[in-house]
Amino acid sequence: MVFVPAALKYLERLWGTVETIKFILVSIVASNIIAFGLNWIEFLATGNAFFLYGTPYHGQMSLQIALLVAFTQLIPEHQVQVMGIIKTRVKVCVSADIILRYLTIMTRACLWHTSHFPLFSAFLDGSALGS
């Protein structure tokens, strides 16, 4: 959240206000349209109404990824410090961000499954294996 305003200010100086607004609208609206279309496909395939009514759409993640990609295209060899500790190049930030988001999603999915499906959690803790 702290990264977005500073990044947009930098891009606005490079591209101008109109182009920056176009960039924001395209990155947020396009990703939400794609997500909405995929949710319709999931609804049609499963018949589960959760895919239509239970899924919130937000554009913050798509805007963050779009900003990282823009910086990768503009200044790929620029070196940045992550949390004041890790020094890395801008071109590595996109891959690291996607990997961290994937790991976060998988961790949340595993925690959700273990709390909602006792059989699954029994296999994870080894009690179903007789140990």
What is the reported pLDDT for 53?
A: 81
Same-domain status, 87 and 130? yes
Which residue spans within the chain are E strands per DSSP?
79-82, 86-89
Range of the domain at 48: 1-74
What is the reported pLDDT for 100?
A: 81
Flag whether pLDDT at 92 surpasses 70.
yes
Tell me the whole-structure pTM to 2 decimals.
0.66
What is the reported pLDDT for 15?
A: 93
Count of structural domains, the chain: 2
What is the reported pLDDT for 1?
A: 63
pLDDT band of 3, cuts 50, 70, 90:
confident
Asked if 120 and 113 touch (Cβ cutoff 8 Å), the reply is yes
What is the reported pLDDT for 128?
A: 45
Which is nearest to 82 in space by CA: 102, 71, 103, 97? 97
> Among 25, 46, 74, where does a domain finish?
74
**Tell me: the pLDDT tens digits for 68-83?**
889 888 887 878 777 7
Which is nearest to 32 in space by CA: 60, 3, 68? 60
| Mean pLDDT computed over every residue of the chain | 79
% of the chain beyond a pLDDT of 90: 14
Same-domain status, 55 and 117? no
Classified as helix, coil or strand, 98 is helix
Same-domain status, 15 and 70? yes
Same-domain status, 4 and 61? yes
> Among 28, 45, 74, where does a domain finish?
74
Give me the helices (H) in 17-89, please: 17-46, 50-53, 60-74
Same-domain status, 36 and 65? yes
Q: What tokens appear for 10 in the block? A: 């930098």
